[in-house]
Structure 1
Amino acid sequence: MDDERIKVGHFVIIQRQKYTKLFRFNSLTAQTGLGKDQVKLKNIDGHPYSTTFKMVPNTEFGKRFIELEPCTDFSSLRESLNITESGTDNRNLVQDSDTQALKQDDIAKLRESGSSISEIVGTIIENSKTFTSKTEYSQEKYLKKKEKKYFDLLQIRRPTLRLIADIMYRQDPEKILGLRVDSLSQLIAFSNICATGNFLLYESGTNGLVPAALLNSIGANTEGKLLHLHQGNVPQKQALQALNLEQEHLDRCISVNIYSLLRQYYQGSGGGKRKLDEVIDDPTDPPPAKVSKTDDAATDVEMESIDTDKNDADVKNDENDAESKAKNGDKQPKWVFENERGCELLRENLDALIIVAKEHPITIVNALIQFVKPGRPVVIFNLSREILVETFIDLKSSNKVTGLKLSSNWLRNYQILPNRTHPDVNMNGNSGFILHGYIIR
């Protein structure tokens, strides 16, 4: 099937040993950096996902340019070298510059000539005075070290939600609000995401990871929809685009600006500006007191910051609207139709409210909770426990939500090897907090 093969325009996962990288294969001339090497990707087009390629140096372009060739030989380094001799212990081994007769220039020439990893490591071993005296365990560690350094295979994998979440978290956790994959899975479970429901999400600051996770859980060719509320003119959709979803699947996500949607909803229902002011401050009124710029956005920013941003967004949208009408007559811009689709979902009432944002969630919850059916879940994620404690108290006193529970995940990775099992030493144990309950209004 075409969906099982790599095509120009797709996002792909490039994996070399344990290192993974998300990359958009946007043209046959595309290339990406791996360490000091520039890898040309034109030869991956049309191959099935999970194909393994051999990295072949191309001397025509210089030693730093690498061509890819499909590879089927995956024998281990020890098997290909046929090592049979080893020592009993390492007590008499002395490591100095004389133990290896091969120089760095000689090894560089081997790599430039296109020699395989087994040929390079085999030559290094032949010129080592101490390798055969090492124990089998020491030889295995030595081979793994050399294999990591001279490894010449990489795999092109299909992007999945777990891989994308792991890559984003490893690169910069702050860009996804510290949302680790285990907390993301808990968020989906508490929200009761299914193929037949309509869900309301307010998200900011996760590079589209949360809408991607929810839309992926809803699935394709279903009745479910996701109403994605955001700040500014353009939503963050990097993770959503990286999943390579079909257009029919992507159309199930309605991304609209939060204030623009609420304004159109209340004005369209006859409530007008007065009804809107009961829910959220109108940015056309005199601006409220600003939040101190020294305060952290994840602890003190209230809904007023959204309103201020939306005021600028309204001006920009008006300009885009005027320009669009000048070019296309009376044709409305896309965001107007998205707002109408969003208002239809709000009138039908939705099946869950999910909030993952830098802003303080109290004002956002109070503005959106009325659009969710009774008995449905409300789920709020934040890095700060104190913020969620305040939200807990507010919701508890309002009698709108029951079964409130504040939880956090503590995940620790373990290395599992024969006779060598231990937890990772350097890791972040905390991945934020989740407040969840059920609406009873």
Structure 2
Amino acid sequence: MEPPSTCNDDDIINDGVDKYFYMGKQKINISSLIGQKFGSTFQLTSDKNLKLVNVFDFCNTTTKDGLNSQEANEQKDNRFIKDDNRSQKLTRNDIEKIKKEISGEEIIKTLVENSSTFEEKNKFSQQKYLVKKKQKYLNLFTVFKPSIKLLMEMYFAKGPSKNNFLRVDTLSQMLTLCNVMAGGNYMVVDSNLGILSAGLMERTAGKGSIVQIFNETIPNGSYRQAVYALNYPESVVSESLLSLSLNDVYELSLEENGSTCETMPTGVQKDSRQMLTKREMRLQEVTRAKSLLRHRDMHGLLLLTKDYDPSSMIHILLQFLGLSRPFVIFSHSIDPLKECYIQLKGKCLFLRISETWLRKYQVLEGRTRPEMTMNSSSGFVLSGIKAEI
């Protein structure tokens, strides 16, 4: 896949010189990625380097190597093929040996030549066989630009509990229900790797203010892991993403409405940032977050429950939400949201508890079906609008 003649700097991979990463048990040198466009596909060579390939030509070549003409396959079916694990003439030891000597496409060609049933399969079965072998023996890697969708799919694939069973379609519903847009000011309670904060950062494009509220005395080391994975410039993250403890928020709730606090001008912060210690920078961040909340006119609130009961903090957080502004709470189980619903009933408008459910379909030429295995539910969402009643 050849990169276009012109492209933006944001679409070019600029990190990874003389660095390695592990994909499963394979150690891969990623220095060859420098200067390549995101979305390019690479093949892993025997010396652990990545070689740029044209994925369309590559797949067409490896597919045609093992297929007969379409006319010959039209008359074939699989009814007389006996699956007794004896169709492959090569033993496991033979395959392991040739894996060290020849490339992946040559391995597949060798397996096809030594299969006693490949020629008897119809065209669809032959393609399915080749695709399966490609996944096993062809080490192709496509490098994508980091996005919240890719992060959500990665975390969910590692284990749904890693992000509290929050699925990417549920996250999109939460951002939509909270009317997240660039230039807004939002509160987020997120104890799962900062996945909600990362979603807000991507939706606002770093243009706005996000106050990340944590329930501990100090934030844990992974509270912004997903945000940093998006590779935003440090200056963008420091200017738009702030953090504050729930204890500080509670102290603010005891103050009179409308009180304000002046902070250091943004330009001064940028000029002197290099000279500040980590503690001073943290104090400035807390001051800026408090000043933002004191106006009590935040544009939205997103809350993801994990180790705490949302009903115990929702009344405190709603004090800093502007009138007619939305809030959204996610929970893997419905019980915590029922308690919140009862407490907020009569105080907020358009309260609703909904269950998120998504069914994926495989759409191919001549055959469309739902996926055979899927998650029945991603959890439950409580949404509403703050009102003065």
TM normalised by structure 2 equals 0.83
- Which residue in the other structure is 1:51 paired with? 40
Task: Give distance in 1, aligned partners of 2:231 and 2:368.
Answer: 37
- Which residue in the other structure is 1:207 paired with? 193
- Which residue in the other structure is 1:11 paired with? none
Is the counterpart of residue 436 in structure 1 residue 375 in structure 2?
Answer: no
Question: Of 179, 188, 195, which residue of structure 1 is paired with 2:175?
Answer: 188
Shift in Å, 1:373: 1.2
Shift in Å, 1:331: 9.6
Counterpart residue identity of residue 28, structure 1: D
Q: Is the 8 A contact 2:67 2:123 kept in 1?
A: no
Describe the superposition over 1:108-146 as per-residue Cα deviations: whole angstroms up to 9, x where unpaired. 3432224241x2222222222332222223222222222
Shift in Å, 1:219: 1.5
- Which residue in the other structure is 1:366 paired with? 315
Counterparts of residues 82-97 of structure 1 (less than 5 Å): 83-84=68-69, 85-86=72-73, 88-96=76-84
Q: Deviation above 6 Å: which 4+ runs of structure 1?
A: 267-271, 328-331
CA 95–200 in structure 1, closer or farther in 2 if over 3 Å, else same: closer
Is the counterpart of residue 405 in structure 1 residue 352 in structure 2?
Answer: yes
Comparing 40-49 and 85-94, the one that deviates more: 85-94
- Which residue in the other structure is 1:219 paired with? 205
Is the counterpart of residue 78 in structure 1 residue 68 in structure 2?
Answer: no
Describe the superposition over 1:130-164 as per-residue Cα deviations: whole angstroms up to 9, x where unpaired. 32222223222222222222123211111111111
Describe the superposition over 1:373-402 as per-residue Cα deviations: whole angstroms up to 9, x where unpaired. 111112211122122111111111xx4311
Question: Of 361, 365, 374, which residue of structure 2 is paired with 1:427?
Answer: 374
2:45 counterpart SS class:
strand
Task: Give distance in 2, aligned partners of 1:384 and 1:113.
Answer: 53
Q: Is the 8 A contact 1:32 1:40 kept in 2?
A: no
1:57 counterpart SS class:
coil
Is the counterpart of residue 126 in structure 1 residue 110 in structure 2?
Answer: no
Counterparts of residues 21-420 of structure 1 (less than 5 Å): 25=16, 28-34=18-24, 36-58=25-47, 66-72=48-54, 73-76=57-60, 77-81=62-66, 83-84=68-69, 85-86=72-73, 88-96=76-84, 99-117=87-105, 119-204=106-191, 206-220=192-206, 222=207, 224-232=208-216, 233-235=218-220, 236-250=223-237, 251-263=239-251, 266=254, 333-348=280-295, 349-358=297-306, 359-396=308-345, 399-420=346-367
Q: Is the 8 A contact 2:65 2:109 kept in 1?
A: no
Counterpart residue identity of residue 309, structure 2: H
In the alignment, structure 1 segments of 5+ residues that lack a partner are 9-24, 59-65, 272-327
Q: Is the 8 A contact 1:56 1:68 kept in 2?
A: yes
Comparing 423-432 and 328-337, the one that deviates more: 328-337
Describe the superposition over 1:49-106 as per-residue Cα deviations: whole angstroms up to 9, x where unpaired. 1121111113xxxxxxx32111124332322445325462334434556543333343
Task: Give distance in 1, aligned partners of 2:85 and 2:121.
Answer: 17
Task: Give distance in 1, aligned partners of 2:32 and 2:144.
Answer: 15
- Which residue in the other structure is 1:286 paired with? none
- Percent of paired sites with the same residue: 31
Describe the superposition over 1:327-350 as per-residue Cα deviations: whole angstroms up to 9, x where unpaired. x99996332211210111112221
CA 237–151 in structure 1, closer or farther in 2 if over 3 Å, else same: same
Task: Give distance in 2, aligned partners of 1:115 and 1:376.
Answer: 59
Task: Give distance in 2, aligned partners of 1:48 and 1:435.
Answer: 41
Counterpart residue identity of residue 67, structure 1: N
Task: Give distance in 2, aligned partners of 1:184 and 1:331.
Answer: 32
Counterpart residue identity of residue 392, structure 1: Y
Shift in Å, 1:355: 1.6
Shift in Å, 1:218: 1.2
- Which residue in the other structure is 1:306 paired with? none
CA 212–332 in structure 1, closer or farther in 2 if over 3 Å, else same: closer
Task: Give distance in 1, aligned partners of 2:312 and 2:215.
Answer: 14
In the alignment, structure 2 segments of 5+ residues that lack a partner are 1-7, 260-274
Comparing 329-338 and 193-202, the one that deviates more: 329-338
Describe the superposition over 1:147-206 as per-residue Cα deviations: whole angstroms up to 9, x where unpaired. 2221232111111111111111121211211111111011001111111221112222x2
CA 98–413 in structure 1, closer or farther in 2 if over 3 Å, else same: closer
Task: Give distance in 1, aligned partners of 2:233 and 2:325.
Answer: 29
Counterpart residue identity of residue 100, structure 1: Q
CA 94–367 in structure 1, closer or farther in 2 if over 3 Å, else same: closer
Task: Give distance in 2, aligned partners of 1:268 and 1:336.
Answer: 22
Shift in Å, 1:352: 1.5
Task: Give distance in 2, aligned partners of 1:357 and 1:108.
Answer: 48
Q: Is the 8 A contact 1:408 1:434 kept in 2?
A: yes
Counterpart residue identity of residue 142, structure 2: Q
Q: Is the 8 A contact 2:67 2:126 kept in 1?
A: no
- Which residue in the other structure is 1:308 paired with? none
How many residues align structurally?
354
TM normalised by structure 1 equals 0.73
Task: Give distance in 2, aligned partners of 1:372 and 1:98.
Answer: 68
Counterpart residue identity of residue 12, structure 2: R
Task: Give distance in 1, aligned partners of 2:336 and 2:253.
Answer: 29
Task: Give distance in 1, aligned partners of 2:279 and 2:135.
Answer: 56
Q: Is the 8 A contact 2:185 2:300 kept in 1?
A: yes
Question: Of 5, 11, 16, which residue of structure 2 is paired with 1:4?
Answer: 11
